[in-house]
Amino acid sequence: MKNNIRFLTLALTGILALGGCSLQGASKADEDSHETIEFNGADTENDDSEETKEASKEQTDDGQAQTDESAETLDAEEGQAKAPAVSIKQSERKEIYDDTGKVLIMTESHAIVEITSDGFDALKKTVEGYYGKDNTDTLDEMTEEAQNHLQGMKELEDYDVSQFPTYYMDKTASLERSDSSVISFSNMDYEYWGGAHGNYATYGYTVDVESGSELKFEDIITDMEGFRAEAVPYVTDKLDEDYGDGLFPEYAETVGSTFGGEYEPSWFLNATGIVIVFQTYEVGPYVMGQAVVTLPYSQFGKYMNEKYLAPKGELVAGVSANMDMSAFLGESGEVSINSINNEYDASEVLIVAGTASEQVSNSGYFQGAYVVRNAQGRIFMIVSADKNSFVYEITGGNVTKCDELVDSRVIGENVGTDKLSFSVDLNILGTYFSNMIYKLTDDGKLEQTEEIFYRNTDKQYVTLESQYVMTVMKELPVVQSGGENKLAVGTKLYITGTNNKDKAYFEIVKDDGKGGIEFTGDNGEIDFSIEQSESGRTLYIDGVSEYEYFDKIPYMQ
């Protein structure tokens, strides 16, 4: 069974300034120079004055063109078409215990979404109101169900409090498209009600940027009859192609009832088209997961309201693999990210812009991407493949590498035409992950915005026996409250983050007296150095190997 997994692509736009991402292509030395996850921006500043616009096609005194004609600054009307920037973060996890205070019966977290750009008052009110809705009724219902479940377990002779399956409700959000006409999100809901497994579903949420009105499917389609006649067989064929024998026998009937039929599908917009999501059990069993089909603008744009098809000015949007996004960008030639399995069952990832193309990876897999066009008209693509992320400029049918971020993948949390978020893999006193916002400069460089990478791991799932809790086996030199100290043998600690250079941060943990773990709030810093050799990398603390200080260090193999 093949699984059609949706991926996203980021591209950012800027003016073609001297010293920036040259359209003549990056040299091999430039490509090989990115060995860390820290980057420096360009030294030159961009000038978008009227004089610069008028002179953009002229030659400099030494005969070099200041800008390329295809990447002229957008005209005044388009330049005012701004894409609203978005911040998405997860709320602190709410924990609900039973009457004894010992059994964690329910947890809840939700996405907090903010429009961070000025001048979008109607949009801000609608979006932040939607994500700020009270979910108390559902939470109360789940909590009551969990309490009844626990009471039923207590009535059993072999009742064990540690075996209670904690209920949970988590809601996340990801930006899929933002421009002057529309903003679109995909929302994932996860719930567990004590059964064999949890359930999840994806729901789109799309809003008209100007009016702040939520858009229904019929708002973006002007010819529903014609659209449905072409969309139903297209979706049916794509499901068969991508999911095959995993589908229910009656899946085609379900498809036939969508798009103006019995119900409105779950959908959102990205850079390549209208993304349709079929939830678990709709067209296939739970084990098959959700089924996703993208209806490309290149084929179905003729049925759409033109306002939501090809926006002017700034934009940022996710991209489905193997689909042309030229209709969205207003480009004459094909623009796409292609991910094709090769003979070794690995994905070859290729960026295509007009007649130009560039191989991103040939031995890994495609993890996601975004495309962005900034106010100056430069288009960048941020592509994650084989555990690394790359910035390419694709303005004017050229494909040029600008930067690279190792051990990372792009995500849709904090996104704008000048910023984006990455999940970064860290390997300092263990392997863990952190989300970091990077600024995207006008010449396609990535600049880290915060010094410390804070760990993503949810403390709810950490126990004293967890692989991530390390026990000190040799007096450990640390810094606490600004002064030097040593942690005694037997101390248990949990790594909370690192600057990924020479410092790791920890919190001391201990038994909470209830069979669980207590995070004490006693924090500190471990200073280290790293030595690279032919046999690999070794981390030293006060000149001593890290492995001499702890009972284990949870590195991924």
Residues 364 and 475 in one domain: no
Of 245, 181, 259, nearest to 215 by C-alpha is 181
Distance CA 438, CA 413 (A): 12
Comparison of pLDDT for 20 and 391, the residue scoring more: 391
Order the strands of the 335-341 sheet from edge to edge: 335-341, 347-353, 356-364
Whether 164 shows a pLDDT value over 60: the answer reads yes
Per-residue model confidence (pLDDT) at position 341? 79
Distance CA 159, CA 157 (A): 6
Per-residue model confidence (pLDDT) at position 516? 77
Report percent pLDDT > 70 for the chain.
Answer: 84
Per-residue model confidence (pLDDT) at position 191? 94
Position of tokens 């949009």?
A: 123
257 is a domain residue = no
Sequence-separated contacts (24+) of 203-208 with Cβ below 8 Å:
203/266, 203/277, 204/176, 204/266, 204/267, 204/268, 204/269, 204/275, 204/277, 205/130, 205/173, 205/268, 206/182, 206/267, 206/268, 206/269, 207/123, 207/126, 207/127, 207/182, 207/183, 208/181, 208/182
Total number of domains constituting the chain? 2
Q: List, for residues 272-298, the tens digit of each pLDDT value.
A: 999 999 999 999 999 999 999 999 999
Residue 138: both structure tokens together: 């559902």
Q: Quick one: average pLDDT of 404-427?
A: 95
Per-residue model confidence (pLDDT) at position 30? 37
Q: Which range has the worst mean pLDDT, 66-70, 241-245, 439-443?
A: 66-70
Residues 395 and 495 in one domain: no
Q: List, for residues 428-473, the tens digit of each pLDDT value.
A: 999 999 999 999 999 999 999 999 999 987 777 788 888 899 999 9
Residues 356 and 434 in one domain: yes
Whether 4 shows a pLDDT value over 70: the answer reads no
Position of tokens 């005694």?
A: 488
141 is a domain residue = no
382 is a domain residue = yes
Apex CA 186: angle with CA 181 and CA 191, to 5°?
155
Per-residue model confidence (pLDDT) at position 345? 67
Distance CA 28, CA 13 (A): 23
428 is a domain residue = yes
Of 444, 464, 352, nearest to 398 by C-alpha is 352
Residues 397 and 510 in one domain: no
Distance CA 392, CA 381 (A): 5
406 is a domain residue = yes
Distance CA 554, CA 557 (A): 9
Q: Is 203 exposed, middle or buried (0-12, 13-18, 19+ CB in 10 A)?
A: middle
148 is a domain residue = no
CA distances from 239 to 163, 227, 260, 350 (A): 40, 18, 19, 24
Residues 442 and 531 in one domain: no
Q: Which range has the worst mean pLDDT, 3-12, 379-388, 521-530?
A: 3-12
Residue 366: both structure tokens together: 């495609």
The rounded mean pLDDT for the chain is: 85
Order the strands of the 291-296 sheet from edge to edge: 266-269, 273-278, 291-296
Half-sphere exposure of 157 (CA within 13 A, CB side): 0
Whether 344 shows a pLDDT value over 70: the answer reads no
Neighbours of 150 (CB within 10 A): 20
Confidence of residue 365 (pLDDT cuts 50, 70, 90): confident
Report percent pLDDT > 90 for the chain.
Answer: 69
Per-residue model confidence (pLDDT) at position 457? 76
End-to-end CA distance of the chain: 28
Whether 46 shows a pLDDT value over 70: the answer reads no
Q: Quick one: average pLDDT of 185-205?
A: 94
Residues 317 and 451 in one domain: yes
Whether 77 shows a pLDDT value over 60: the answer reads no
Between strands 104-109 and 167-179, the pairing is parallel
Cβ atoms 454, 462 nearer than 8 A: no
Residue 3 Rama label (left phi>0; alpha psi -120 to 50; beta):
beta
Enclosing domain of residue 536: 462-548
Residues 434 and 522 in one domain: no
Residues 439 and 351 in one domain: yes
Apex CA 38: angle with CA 33 and CA 42, to 5°?
75
Q: Which range has the worst mean pLDDT, 316-330, 440-454, 512-526?
A: 512-526
Whether 67 shows a pLDDT value over 70: the answer reads no
Confidence of residue 532 (pLDDT cuts 50, 70, 90): confident
Distance CA 401, CA 360 (A): 9
Whether 58 shows a pLDDT value over 60: the answer reads no
Q: Quick one: average pLDDT of 396-410?
A: 95
Apex CA 125: angle with CA 122 and CA 126, to 5°?
85
- DSSP category for residue 155: T
Q: Quick one: average pLDDT of 383-397?
A: 94
Q: What pTM, to 2 d.p., does this model score?
A: 0.82
Residues 492 and 410 in one domain: no
Residues 437 and 489 in one domain: no
| Residue 313 β-bridge partners | none
| Residue 203 β-bridge partners | 187
Per the document, the length of the chain is 557
Last residue of a domain, one of 457, 483, 501: 457
CA distances from 228 to 143, 153, 217 (A): 42, 51, 12
Residues 13 and 75 in one domain: yes
Residues 488 and 444 in one domain: no
499 is a domain residue = yes
All residues at 6 or more sequence positions from 474 whose CB lies less than 8 Å from its CB, including other chains: 489, 544, 548, 549
Comparison of pLDDT for 44 and 395, the residue scoring more: 395
Per-residue model confidence (pLDDT) at position 378? 95
Confidence of residue 517 (pLDDT cuts 50, 70, 90): confident
116 is a domain residue = no
Last residue of a domain, one of 457, 477, 495: 457
Last residue of a domain, one of 457, 477, 505: 457
All residues at 6 or more sequence positions from 335 whose CB lies less than 8 Å from its CB, including other chains: 324, 325, 326, 329, 352, 353, 354, 394
